[in-house]
Every structure is written in C-alpha cells, then in structure tokens.
Amino acid sequence: MKFSLISSNQLLVLVLITIILMLSDLSHQKPNIINNNKPLNNHFKNLGLNLPGRHKLEFGKFENYRLKPTKLLGGRNTKKNNFIAPKNDTEIKAFLNYDLTKLDVQNSSQIIPFYNNYKTLFNKTYKTKEEEIERVGIFKQTIVSINKHNADDCSHYTQGINEMSDMKWPEIQKQKFGFKRPIARNKTKKIKFDKMLKSSNYDDNNIPLEWDWRKYGIVTPSINQGNCGSCWSFASASVLESHLMKVQIYEGNFDPNNQLILSQQNLIDCSREYGTEGCEGGSSKDAFEYVQSANQLNTYNTYPYTGIPNYCQFNNNMRINVDIKEVNRITTGADDELVSAIYRHGPVTVSFEANLNFMNYRSGIYEEPFCINNITHYMVAVGYTPEYFIVKNSWGENWGEGGFVRLSRSKINNCGISEQDYYPVLANDVGTDQMRDKLKEIY
C-alpha cells in the first residue's frame, strides 16, 4: 500500500512538470501569420522550363523555295542566350518522324517500348501505375487517329505525335491555350480596310502576292510555353520584337546574328492591371497596352521565362525602350486587311480555334472543316501566300513545321484567324514599301 502511494505522488509530480514545460515552450513560439507581402510562388522563382534550342527547322515544302534555317535565324549560337538545348534533340526529331503505320497499337510488345521511349524523350513521369496505363491508352488512341488522318488522300496536311500525344483534352486546354477577350478599353483603334489604305497612301497593287518576314531574319524561333496558358504573352512579345528589329533594319542597326528576344515573363508578371491573367490567359491587346503605358520591356535574357506567375521583377537598368504610338485591331473577318498589316507593318497576333486535329499537326496546309470560330489560342502571323497564312506557334520547334504552321485561306476568317487580331504601330514605324531597298534576304 505504501509503495502504491509513493508511485502515485511521483506520477503526479511528473505530470505537473510536463505541463509546465509545454506551456513554457508554447510561450516562446511565434504566431503563424500569413505574410501577404511575400512574392507569389517565390519557392519556384528560380525554376525554369526546358526550352528548345535553335536547331534546324523544318518548314515543309514551300511552292518555289525552301528556307535555309541556319541563315534564316541568323546563325545564332545557343551559348549566347538562355535557351536550354535538349541533349537528345536529334533523337526527338528522329522519334517524331517514325512511321507510325508500322506500330501495332494492340501489341503490347510493340507499343509499350515505343511509349517508354516517348516518356523518356519528353521527360514525362506519372505518380501511379494506373495513371500511366491511362496515358498509354490515350497515346494509342492518338496514333490510331493520326494514321487514319494520314491515310486520307484528300487531306492537305499530315499529322504526327508530339509532347501532347498522351495528354487529356482538359489538360491541353489549360496548359496550351490562353486566349481571353480583352477588357473594355477605348484606346484601341478599329480601322476599316479602305481607311487604312488611304491613310497610308498605298494602293492594293503595291502589296505583293506573298510575303514571309522569316526571310529577313526578324522572326525568332518558336519557344515552348510549357504548362502555362501564356500563348498571349508569347504572341505579343514575338510581334513586338519583330517590329523593333524591322526598325533596326531601316536605321542600319540590325544584326541578324543577334536577334532581339523580348521577355514573355515580363508581360505575365507585370500586366495584370491591364486585364491579363498570367497562366490563366490574356489578350495581346491588353499586353500591348501595358507596354504602351510602360514604354519599355525587358529582354528574355534579363527576365527569363519560367512559366510561373510571380510579382513584377522588371529591371529598369536593362530596359528596352518600346514607344508604341497606337494599337490597331484587324476588322473581324477582314483577311485582306490582315495581309495588308503583315506586309506594311510586320507580324500580327492572330486568334485561332485550336482542336485535337491542330494538336497533331505535323506539316502541310492546315484546314479544319469543323471550325466554329470558338477562339482558344493566340499565335503570330508572319507571312502569307494566296493559299495560306504562315503562322508561328508557341509550342516549340518539335511541333509542326519547326514550330510554324501554314493555315489555309480557303475561306474567310478560317478557324477565327482574323477574329481578334492586333498589332502595334511604333512611333518610328516605317512602311515596308519605304524600306524595301534595305531588306536583304538572308536565307
């Protein structure tokens, strides 16, 4: 009985000591307060995407000429910029060109090794075995669809696999699109085609039947936007850099070996008050109006792309002056006006309805009979012929014809190509006719 009483007292003392120690420890802890001034996604701020290097482009068969990519892109050395060239780029291109009709998708001994190579080359990993089985199923369906399309002799373009071939449609919509209609502002001018012709002192006969700004070195390569709905920022940055380089040509300051590449991330992080929504989408009109107000932009090297929205980190000491006089919109459905703007001013951001067929585009003149002009995507029109528009995408050089697509002009406003199109007019803009003698083809 005595032993039991002593044990109980000791136990009571130990409990009291424990409680006192716990209270003392809690009194020294700092309260868990959320710091609203902390940068958004700061943890990921130093992460980057594996952006494609500047290797040979494949533009497909043009009617009268084939562009020479090395000269076309100014023979840039990838060591001079921040683009990360995939170590297995040659393997990826060979893999993408594999004859898919040789694959029996129902034969696991064929499709599984092929899919494993696909995963390795595109750095794909999945959390569970069940998810990977689902991805294999999507991949098989994609191959069947591609082979069916390519067997159609009436089609003017071919399809092939790419990094999206095992992705679900909602994933593609979220990660690869990003079109949003611009917010209501009164700054943008909507110019009718006939008024633009009169104000420019040009006549229709001065516009050549075909034009391609890539031939003059002012179109940069296609960069992959990654898993971020930032097509609007890529299109806007691409158009601005082309217009600035066009002025450099006129002023005699253009170096084709050192193309100007502007920061897409700068637009993502700093233009929100103008209506853009980062990886959730935006409008090139709103992006242009942000630059028009700021009057400046950083280069890609100064403000590299991460594909992760963050607080604005604009570097004023490394700014590029961008003096935009006005932002113009192509009249909806006015394909001729789009042609005129491309030739007279430079590349134009264009809207587009992208679907699963477009995801699989490999080469040729793309035409989609089932378009209903449900706009989802922004790209850049860099040239035209009587048959098609030449358009730069932002899904990297392993998609399409080296990152480009030829969009059919078989009908007006095909797939919404002239639905929501914008281009800036720089304060020192020079009409193309006035500088034709300074334009030298570099292919």
- Are residues 96 and 65 both part of a single domain? no
> Of 158, 188, 211, which closes a domain?
158
- Are residues 145 and 205 both part of a single domain? no
What pLDDT does residue 93 have?
84
Q: What is the DSSP letter of 343?
A: H
Token pair in block for residue 218: 């002012």
Say if residues 74 and 217 touch (Cβ distance below 8 Å).
yes
CA dist 249 and 340 (Å) reads 20
For the stretch 306-361, pLDDT in tens is: 999 999 999 999 999 999 999 999 998 899 999 999 999 999 999 999 999 999 99
Closest listed residue to residue 385, CA positions, set 148, 163, 119, 65? 65
Helices 108-121 and 89-96, axial angle in degrees (round to 10): 140
Say if residues 326 and 424 touch (Cβ distance below 8 Å).
yes
What pLDDT does residue 41 have?
31
Task: Flag whether pLDDT at 290 surpasses 80.
Answer: yes
Neighbours of 191 (CB within 10 A): 18
Average model confidence (pLDDT) across the chain: 81
In a domain, 366, yes or no: yes
- Are residues 147 and 179 both part of a single domain? no
- Are residues 208 and 269 both part of a single domain? yes
Q: Which residues contact 416 (CB under 8 A, 6 or more apart)?
A: 351, 352, 353, 371, 373, 374, 375
- Are residues 289 and 246 both part of a single domain? yes
pTM, entire model: 0.78
CA angle (43, 47, 53) in 5-degree steps: 170
> Of 132, 158, 184, which closes a domain?
158
CA atoms within 13 A on the CB side of 319: 13
For the stretch 242-281, pLDDT in tens is: 999 999 999 999 999 899 999 999 999 999 999 999 999 9
- Are residues 342 and 310 both part of a single domain? yes
Q: Which amino acid is located at 256 in the chain?
A: P
In a domain, 36, yes or no: no
The set of catalytic residues is 231, 377, 393
In a domain, 42, yes or no: no
Question: Which residue do the tokens 């709103």 mark?
Answer: 286
> Of 134, 158, 182, which closes a domain?
158
More confident residue, 135 or 94: 135
Domains in the chain: how many in total?
2
For the stretch 334-345, pLDDT in tens is: 999 999 999 999
- Are residues 138 and 245 both part of a single domain? no
- Are residues 113 and 251 both part of a single domain? no
In a domain, 4, yes or no: no
Range of the domain at 286: 55-83+169-438
